[in-house]
Structure 1
């Protein structure tokens, strides 16, 4: 499958809100507040992102969107991985690794010293991918979010070159 990674384009934000909302409602029972959060993250990105140090990666196979990952600025030295998502049919074929690699390399190239992310323990495949790629679990705590009980996690990776 020939896959292209592009920036955020027309219709991508709406697609991402819809995909996140439907997928997490179906798989984890999330309520509508999750899609609202995704919409706010995307609105903030579209309104304020700095192209020199923030980027969206949207994966396409022909005319079909397959997923996304975003690199956003937290501080001058810390980036945040956001909106990492793959449609079900695209999972298990290495696209998640490719998106993670592209986002992490962009963060390195942009001068960030570390990258962080927030996720839930129930996202087992993503958490395993992070661990395999050198991300470290910083915290794990029970929460009630999006209408369900979850275990929220914070992860980080050091992006500074090894000496």
Structure 2
């Protein structure tokens, strides 16, 4: 029976959801049962064999829904394989170097013994919600800085690890 993996995410404008969908897609290609779901819509993580949680970064903080998910389901998460990701830098920095997790996520990684955390580039497009997002776009600093090759390689590593043991 294939291991069941939850990829939960917190997003405001959909960019982190697209990353979560890509991760779940690769895990399915690896032979696992995987689904991407909005963190706020997950009632329990108990039925999953492993969990990946992603949150968009906003002003140096992980998305509220991702933080709440980790707090609400902490006991369930601590008992199974867990990976975390962040998305957000609106430049090429996430592709050029390893960006450590923001402090709250760093504490969650340690507390829950997460197997890995990675920061991916973010995406901010015209029509994004929020005053700050509109200001960033007005200043010409939006764009799509996600590296789906890197995202897919990271997800494939998770798949291999889950299949091997």
* Fold match by TM threshold 0.5: no
Provide the TM-score with structure 2 as the length reference.
Answer: 0.35
Question: Relative CO higher for 1 or 2, CA cutoff 8 Å, sep ≥ 6?
Answer: 2
- Structure with the larger strand share: 1
Provide the TM-score with structure 1 as the length reference.
Answer: 0.35
- Structure with the larger helix share: 2
